[in-house]
């Protein structure tokens, strides 16, 4: 529990946000009229996307997507007690992460295969992030190369890496070299996929096998989704672009998938994290921490930041909601590393919940996939607009005239884990 002991006058709040947001988007009012929240985008994505693409964007692991629902429920259980009489206007919400100033404590989480949801997705995400000045973590299994994304989003580009340990990490170390050559701002090592689990909704629609093999049902769905099909014709079949260089210049999407399954897998060991720390001289982040002692190990190895995450509920449904693990991890290492949050973020209120509990920023994934599904290339920018406007409103509603003040509000968090 926290309490506000003193609230500084609003006029002392820093006015340094890079965010231009809705004022720079001539279609904001129209989009907002139809899609005022992330949930409206999700509903529209369900209607507009080919069924297989929506199922890929929306599903998780286990029975009835139980892990995803637990993440949402855990966030909804966090209650913030407001203080009034101190906030005459909406506050700015720009924050600093690893020495760079960003427009808000939000970011775009790494996602595998977003181009399945909307062809060309990775570049649309990068452009929106660069314009709004929020971090974008390009997933290794993305549809654009690290070089392409770094050119589009030089100020906000981070790169996520899965384990590729064969031949003494030859591919992994070369990916680090490529990321460094592009002047990518941060490297994110994903720890929370030691094995690949079954995602039933993907399997049923034909995306859970050894490759991409469109059947009659999928082709029919494409024909019934003309905007998606046009995007496919314009951008080409989704490919794991960054990995294609290692599978061969003429490798098809199925060749690259087969290559990735042969060459990659498992979670980084702490010894391997240390090796990447030695090779990567800029900001190093690990993703997938749920236990304070794992956070302690990461910091002891010189890691700069970490994501408290359960892979968005897409690996195993038995894990706790990361928001419940966040306070203990912040208490353990928050003074020595930048702790960020990922998994289940659907609103600016969720962002403020995570921030109030000690996270430096909260990253969303599915929200951006739903935005793409509903609005195509306009979707990522509209999701950012929604999240930032909701974040500013939530800060103002609880009496925080700058983000740091949210850390002093009274919080009821009955689900918090005690290790």
Nearest 5°: CA angle at 368, between 162 and 81?
105
For tokens 């391997």, the residue is: 272
β 362-364/157-161 pair status: unpaired
Beta-carbon contacts of 201 under 8 Å, excluding residues fewer than 6 positions away, are 55, 56, 58, 59, 60, 65
Q: Is 311 a catalytic residue?
A: yes
Compute the C-alpha angle 124/126/129, nearest 5°: 110
Q: Which of 124, 169, 311, 382 is catalytic?
A: 311
Q: How far is CA 341 from CA 166, 263, 349, 359, in A?
A: 31, 29, 13, 6
C-alpha 139/C-alpha 113 separation (Å) is 8
State the sign of the Cα–Cα–Cα–Cα dihedral 365, 366, 372, 375: negative
Decide: 302 and 276 in contact? Cβ < 8 Å. no
Positions marked catalytic: 311
């Amino acid at each position: 529990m926290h309490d506000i002991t003193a609230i500084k006058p609003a006029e002392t709040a820093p006015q340094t946000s890079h965010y231009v947001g809705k004022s720079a988007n001539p279609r904001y009012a129209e989009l907002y009229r139809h899609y005022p929240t992330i949930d409206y985008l999700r509903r529209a994505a369900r209607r507009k996307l080919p069924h297989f693409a929506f199922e890929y964007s929306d599903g998780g692991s286990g029975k009835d997507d139980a892990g995803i629902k637990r993440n949402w429920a855990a966030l909804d259980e966090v209650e913030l007690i407001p203080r009034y009489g101190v906030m005459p206007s909406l506050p700015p919400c720009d924050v600093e992460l690893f020495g760079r100033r960003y427009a808000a404590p939000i970011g775009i989480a790494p996602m595998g295969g977003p181009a399945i949801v909307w062809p060309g997705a990775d570049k649309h995400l990068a452009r929106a992030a660069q314009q709004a000045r929020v971090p974008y973590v390009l997933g290794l299994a993305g549809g654009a190369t690290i070089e392409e994304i770094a050119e589009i989003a030089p100020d906000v580009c981070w790169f996520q890496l899965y384990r590729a340990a064969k031949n003494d990490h030859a591919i992994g170390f070369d990916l680090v070299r490529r990321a460094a050559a592009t002047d990518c701002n941060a490297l994110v090592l994903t720890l929370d996929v030691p094995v690949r689990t079954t995602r039933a909704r993907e399997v049923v629609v034909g995306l859970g096998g050894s490759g991409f093999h469109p059947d009659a049902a999928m082709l029919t769905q494409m024909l019934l989704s003309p905007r998606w099909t046009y995007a496919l014709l314009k951008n080409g079949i989704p490919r794991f672009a960054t990995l294609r260089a290692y599978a061969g210049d003429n490798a098809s999407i199925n060749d690259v998938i087969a290559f990735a399954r042969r060459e990659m897998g498992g979670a980084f060991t702490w010894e391997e994290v240390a090796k990447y720390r030695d090779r990567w001289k800029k900001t190093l982040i690990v993703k997938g921490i749920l236990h304070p002692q794992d956070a302690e190990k990461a910091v002891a190895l010189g890691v700069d930041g970490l994501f408290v995450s359960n892979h968005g509920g897409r690996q195993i449904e038995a894990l706790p909601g990361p928001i419940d693990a966040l306070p203990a991890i912040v208490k353990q290492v928050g003074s020595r590393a930048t702790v960020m949050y990922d998994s289940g973020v659907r609103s600016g209120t969720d962002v403020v919940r995570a921030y109030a509990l000690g996270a430096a920023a909260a990253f969303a994934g599915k929200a951006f996939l739903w935005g793409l599904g509903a609005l195509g290339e306009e979707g990522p920018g509209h999701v950012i607009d929604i999240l930032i406007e909701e974040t500013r409103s939530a800060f103002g509603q609880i009496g925080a005239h700058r983000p740091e003040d949210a850390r002093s509000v009274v919080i009821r968090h009955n689900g918090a884990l005690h290790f």
